[in-house]
Structure 1
Amino acid sequence: MPRKPVYEQVINDVTASIRSGTLKPGDKLPTIAELARQYNSSDNPIKRALWILDERGWIEVHQGKGSFVADEPPA
């Protein structure tokens, strides 16, 4: 079975952490650089994952401040 693209791994990991309560509303996510190191990846797949998570309502991205878990993430 082929490995999932990095951006999908990030999306799955972040949503799982939010669902389990490991990440709570308002919690700050690691920086793009930190996530890139964690996933042994370049910045682009991380940015794509954060953009998708933002679009789906899981997180809120604030330019210059970082990414935070949404106050009311999807159920």
Structure 2
Amino acid sequence: MPRRPVYEQVIDDITTAIRTGQLKPGDRLPSIADLCVQYEASATPIRHALLLLDARGWIETHQGRGSFVAAHPPGTAAG
């Protein structure tokens, strides 16, 4: 079975953590560098995943501050 792209794994893991309440609105996500280590990947797929999560309303990314769980992410009681 072919391995799934890293960015899809990151998206799935973060959305699952938000849905299950492991990550709550306003929680800060790990840095890109930390996610690179965790997923043993370069920054490119990590950035791509965060960009897609931001575009889909799951997170909010602030230049220089990091990425945070959105106040009302989709697929949750608040969203």
User: Structures share a fold, TM > 0.5?
Assistant: yes
Deviations 1:12-37 (A, max 9, x none): 00000000000000000000000000
Q: Which amino acid aligns with 1:60?
A: E
Paired residues, number: 75
Aligned counterpart, 1:15: 15
Quick check: 1:33 aligned with 2:18? no
SS in structure 2 opposite 1:60?
Answer: strand
Identity %: 65
* SS of the residue 2:17 aligns to: helix
TM-score where L is the length of structure 1: 0.99
Unaligned runs of 5+ in 2: none
Cα distance, 1:62 vs. partner? 0.3
TM-score (normalised: structure 2) = 0.94
2:55 matched residue in structure 1: 55
Consecutive unaligned residues in structure 1, runs of 5 or more: none
Deviation per residue, 1:1-57 (Å, 9 max, x gap): 211100000000000000000000000000000000000000000000000000000
User: What is the rounded CA distance, in whole Å, between the counterparts of 2:50 and 2:65 in structure 1?
Assistant: 14
* Alignment-mate amino acid for residue 46 of structure 1: I
Structure 1 letter corresponding to 2:20: S
Cα offset, 1:70, TM superposition: 0.1
